[in-house]
Amino acid sequence: MGKLTPEQQAKKYLKDNKAVKKIHATSDGFLFLHKPDAVSHGKKLEDKNVTTFSRSAKVDAPAKDEEPKGFLDQSVAKIKAALAAKEDVAELEGYLEQEKAQEEPRTTAVEAIESRIAELTKED
């Protein structure tokens, strides 16, 4: 049998791991539990797209950019409030890339995430 497509890999992973509700795949076939990790990995690839596969409804069909109750699905005010608790620069960079990749990125969300990254990376 040949190499599995990312969709086939995701379907198999979800079938074998009942506790996992979503899995994120990069164009090179790597699977990630956390979308920011997939986005970060995807930055290194020619095809930077990340596809989310969900156990709900249709596992066969990718739920592209479908992140119900995800960090970036909140209002900008809630994002700003939650940023203070975020310490992982790679995670924040993933969120920043996701927001910038939106059809209409929210400038205030981008600025808030960039500001938090700057706070965490500044040298004292």
Percent pLDDT > 90 in the chain is: 19
**pLDDT in the model for residue 119:** 92
Interval 78-110: pLDDT, tens: 889 889 888 889 989 999 999 998 888 999 999
pLDDT band at residue 113, thresholds of 50, 70 and 90? very high
Strands (E), 27-105: 31-32, 50-54
pLDDT at 18 (0 to 100): 86
Name the β-bridge partners of 54.
Answer: 22
User: Is the CB of residue 86 less than 8 Å from the CB of residue 92?
Assistant: yes
